[in-house]
Amino acid sequence: MDLRQCIIGFDLWHLALPVVSARDHGIGRVEGTCEVVVLRLTAEGGAQGFGEASPWSVFTGTPEASYAALDRYLRPLVQGRRVGNRAAIMADAARAVAHCTEAKAALESALLDLAGHITCQPVWALIGGKCRDTIPLSCSIANPDFDADIALMQRLREDKVGLIKLKTGFKDHAFDIMRLERIAQDFPEFRVRVDYNQGLEPEQAIPQVLDVARFKPDFIEQPVRHHHFDVMARLRNVTDVPLLADESVFGPEDMVRAAREGICDGVSVKIMKAGGLTRGQTVARMAAANGMTAYGGDMFETGLAHLAGTHMIAATPEITLGCEFYQATYYLKEDILETPFQVRDGQVVVPNGPGLGARPDVGKLDHYNVRRAS
Ligand SMILES: [Mg+2]
């Protein structure tokens, strides 16, 4: 298959998806629904590819911006182009609109899904080949109601999930320490990571991070605002617990500065921050080349974006710390995929079918839709 088919269809859905509870993540809260934008590309002959933009307004951007970037600025670059011209389309997309990395991730996911369906190959085969069949799953503990999170941890234990990430810095330090003590006492089988999501002011950061480091988490993620590279570097020097950068490092350009200024021991790689799967792979490789580890992070996503991230990690040996693709299973009231996102014994299962390996149910897209364009 030579992928000479032209892309003739470009459909968008802006979805509002109900979630099971509020979640606090450092500087922001999610409650009621999370909003994503789904893109469907159709090629001559009828093959289709799907991608998702999963923004968060306090972190990467807004669903309105993702929708506008795709509908107004990226649509003209795609329609009429050949499926095989993916790299050229993505280079044009990078120049056509600043930022909007989630929209670019949706576009690259849909182009890869489309190429995979036309050539009967999984997406991982199109971006380097597979280095793993499963990925350890981490679930975030972020409910302001800690009793509800205790019930969630009991369910995770039954499901053989071995990694949890405690979201800290949204209430007070005593609440964070109380939860860490309780987890250490009642759930000693979990490996624990800590993520502040930029929740600390610089003057609070050193004493609070040192206090949390006593619990020996696998890593402590992004204690301060994304632009405080100097504070991140200082924190890294006062604790032996690895420091992870998330909001400070979106794409390869940020990774250059993070390595030069020594702000972290590892990085959370997200296709929604990097602007696609291949740029995410570049971030992970740059991290490894600088002696850092890499983690498979995500946003508030459906199973569709989880699948894109799963294929990226499957083809990226440098991402060694697992992934956090838990929302489809543990957070959305209903996911949008036709067949469930596969998690088995606490591991995300890498699909081997064509494209992303599963598709959204268009009936669900229409049901949860708040805005649509074709
Ligand atoms: Mg994070």
| pLDDT at 373 > cutoff 90 | no
**Interval between CA 299 and ligand 1 midpoint (Å):** 9
**Interval between CA 6 and ligand 1 midpoint (Å):** 38
**Interval between CA 347 and ligand 1 midpoint (Å):** 20
d(C-alpha 115, C-alpha 133), whole Å: 21
**Interval between CA 359 and ligand 1 midpoint (Å):** 27
**Interval between CA 246 and ligand 1 midpoint (Å):** 5
**Interval between CA 96 and ligand 1 midpoint (Å):** 28
Mean pLDDT, residues 362-373: 94
**Interval between CA 298 and ligand 1 midpoint (Å):** 8
**Interval between CA 88 and ligand 1 midpoint (Å):** 31
**Interval between CA 291 and ligand 1 midpoint (Å):** 20
Q: Considering only CA atoms, which of 331, 326, 350, 300 is closest in space to residue 163?
A: 326
pLDDT in tens, 193-251: 999 999 999 999 999 999 999 999 999 999 999 999 999 999 999 999 999 999 999 99
For residue 360, the cross-strand partners are 337
Mean pLDDT, residues 305-311: 99
| pLDDT at 169 > cutoff 90 | yes
**Interval between CA 47 and ligand 1 midpoint (Å):** 35
pLDDT in tens, 88-101: 999 999 999 999 99
**Interval between CA 292 and ligand 1 midpoint (Å):** 16
Q: Considering only CA atoms, which of 80, 81, 79, 53 is closest in space to residue 68?
A: 53
For residue 11, the cross-strand partners are 40
Q: Considering only CA atoms, which of 253, 250, 286 is closest in space to residue 269?
A: 250
Neighbours of ion ligand 1 (CB under 5 A): 195, 221, 246
**Interval between CA 223 and ligand 1 midpoint (Å):** 9
**Interval between CA 94 and ligand 1 midpoint (Å):** 24
Q: Give all domains of the chain, ordered by start, each with its CATH number.
A: 7-119+361-373 (3.30.390.10), 126-349 (3.20.20.120)
For 284, phi then psi, to 5°, come to -60, -40
Q: What share of the chain in percent tops pLDDT 90?
A: 97
> Residue 26's pLDDT band (boundaries 50, 70, 90)?
confident
Mean pLDDT, residues 82-93: 98
**Interval between CA 343 and ligand 1 midpoint (Å):** 21
Rg of the chain over all Cα atoms, to the nearest angstrom? 20
**Interval between CA 59 and ligand 1 midpoint (Å):** 10
**Interval between CA 25 and ligand 1 midpoint (Å):** 8
| pLDDT at 1 > cutoff 80 | no
Please give the mean pLDDT across all residues of the chain.
97
| pLDDT at 144 > cutoff 90 | yes
**Interval between CA 63 and ligand 1 midpoint (Å):** 19
Q: Taking a C-beta distance cutoff of 8 angstroms, is the pair 290, 263 a contact?
A: no
What is the sign, positive or negative, of the torsion defined by CA atoms of 283, 161, 113, 50?
Answer: negative
pLDDT in tens, 2-15: 799 999 999 999 99
Strands 163-167 and 138-141, sheet pairing: parallel
**Interval between CA 220 and ligand 1 midpoint (Å):** 9
Q: Taking a C-beta distance cutoff of 8 angstroms, is the pair 103, 52 a contact?
A: no
Q: Considering only CA atoms, which of 206, 273, 298 is closest in space to residue 243?
A: 206
